Amino acid sequence: MSIYLDNAATTPLDPEVFEAMKPFMLEDFGNPSSTHAHGRKVRAAIESARKQIASLLNCTPGEIIFTSGGTEADNAILASSIRTYGIKNVITSLIEHHAVELTLGNLAKQGLIKLHFVNLDEKGQVDLDHLNTLLKENPNALVSLMHANNEIGNILDLEKVSELCDQHKAYFHSDTVQTVGHFKHDLSKMKVHGITAAAHKFHGPKGIGFMFIRKDKKIQPFMQGGAQERNMRGGTENVYGIIGLAKALEIAYRDMDEHIHHIKSLKSRMIERLKNNIPGVMFNGNSADLDNSLYTVLSVSLPESDENSMLLFNLDLQGISASGGSACSSGTATGSHVLSALYPESNRGAIRFSFSKYNTPEEIDFVVDKLASLLKVEALK
Ligand SMILES: Cc1ncc(COP(=O)(O)O)c(C=O)c1O
């Protein structure tokens, strides 16, 4: 038995995506910057992928810049917007992904910016009144707040926050790595200046993503080199990655309603089964609120038990892959900065289950049964 419930870390490649990528791995190998026929063919494919992505997100092709993934895109927007606009104050939160948290932390350590942390409520939701106050106190700031939290699934109201940022002339970046391909973003309807995406979060290939940079809020390039990506990101393009990214996004949009329905039903089943089978189970952040959270993520804390510390390991032995918070920090001893920011006085651990279109109700039942038996819940009742 092999069950994969770690889809917020990465998702399996869709075979349809692989088929679209294959010709660009084998036959169409030209360098898109070459002006001969081999190059021109590949250039045309890249530009058509860019057009397709832009049309799905309702922006212009020139506003989409391909990167190596979410981390590079976040780093680029943050560092370059600060440099381009001489920004001194940055408003962010304590539960951002490390790609944002560490980038901003390092710039603050160098004395280049001052950080201001917006208050969060007990579930991890951003306090918009406090954000408004911080914006008033810090004109021309950069605001960096993620659309959906990768550990606890909290969702930010992007439209409201972009309105606030617009009123106060702030540059607004949102890490949308967990939501591109899972929600339909209409960039013509909100004033966010920069968002980020990684194809492997929605059944595309790894090592490819993009940033959207609004055309009236351009930033200087982050990676210096060749003139690729309209001088915005030097380096020969990851051609088959770009083709796979566009295909994965096309499929995600095509089948989104069906996938949302399927995944929400899995999540709801897991919540109910956990509540019924494991006394004292808790859900972190907003993740158990089906309609107001990232539907792909459920963050679970289990009652105190001698079995807790070995739980992920024991699930793994049973063929079940889940994550202890953020997979990006697995192997580090510091635990989850998100959970310690939200629950400072408890040392509660968490298991993050994250779902995809490929999971089944039978898998959910199997996992809950295994959890109950590993926790020896009969003894807890
Ligand atoms: C919210 C968020 N931002 C950024 C990233 C980084 O993306 P990548 O691993 O593609 O660089 C991740 C990946 O886990 C993420 O979940």
For the entire predicted model, the pTM comes to 0.95
Question: Inter-axis angle of helices 158-167 and 128-137, to 10 degrees?
Answer: 20
Secondary structure of residue 343 in the 3-state scheme = coil
Give CA separation, 182 vs 21, 203, 266, in Å.
21, 11, 15
Q: pLDDT tens across 275-325, in order?
A: 999 999 999 999 999 999 999 999 999 887 777 778 899 999 999 999 985
Buried b (16+ CB within 10 A) or exposed e, 187-226: beebbbbbbbbbbbbbbbbbebbbbbbbeebebebbbeee
Is ligand 1 within 6 A of the CB of residue 150?
A: yes
Taking CA atoms only, the protein residue closest to ligand 1 atom 2 is: 177
Q: Would the pLDDT of 380 be above 80?
A: no
Tell me how far the alpha carbon of residue 151 lies from the centroid of ligand 1, in angstroms.
11
- Candidate list 115, 282, 328, 341, residue with the active-site label: 328
Tell me how far the alpha carbon of residue 373 lies from the centroid of ligand 1, in angstroms.
33
Confirm whether 328 is a catalytic residue.
yes
Asked if 279 and 381 count as a contact pair (C-beta separation under 8 A), the reply is yes
Task: Determine the pLDDT at residue 226.
Answer: 93
Is ligand 1 within 6 A of the CB of residue 81?
A: no
Secondary structure of residue 53 in the 3-state scheme = helix
Task: Determine the pLDDT at residue 156.
Answer: 98
Rounded to whole angstroms, how far apart are CA atoms 312 and 273? Answer: 19
Is ligand 1 within 6 A of the CB of residue 141?
A: no
Is ligand 1 within 6 A of the CB of residue 177?
A: yes
Q: Assign 378 a pLDDT band (cuts: 50, 70, 90).
A: low
Q: Would the pLDDT of 347 be above 90?
A: no
In which residue are the tokens 């990684």 written?
Answer: 198
In which residue are the tokens 């309105």 written?
Answer: 163
Q: Would the pLDDT of 381 be above 70?
A: no
What phi and psi, each to the nearest 5 degrees, are found at residue 171?
-85, 125
